[in-house]
Amino acid sequence: MKTRPDLKQAESPAMQALRKQRIENRVKEIPKKYRKLYKKAMETNNEEAAIEALCLECICWQKKEVVNCSYLTCPLFGVRPYTRN
């Protein structure tokens, strides 16, 4: 899995605190089974986790709908999760 360098160095302490609070609030709105994935995406800057979480969020956390996504011009279409054997 690809992991980006720690971006926290580029954020001010105030921005870090705001981001942390918003992530905590957002986690509460996400189906429990996907909270760990979301936190991984947000806290580790892992690109695969970020793509998976974004696609799931885009399609209301319905894994099957990510596979069936028909938005052919989305920049993530070719790398969306659950489509490779």
Q: What is the dihedral of CA 42, 46, 50, 52, to 10 degrees?
A: -130
| Minimum separation from the CB atom of position 59 to ligand SF4 (A) | 5
| Minimum separation from the CB atom of position 8 to ligand SF4 (A) | 25
CA distance 35 to 61: 11
CA distance 64 to 19: 30
Smaller CB distance to ligand SF4: residue 27 or 69?
A: 69
Smaller CB distance to ligand SF4: residue 18 or 71?
A: 71
Smaller CB distance to ligand SF4: residue 41 or 55?
A: 55
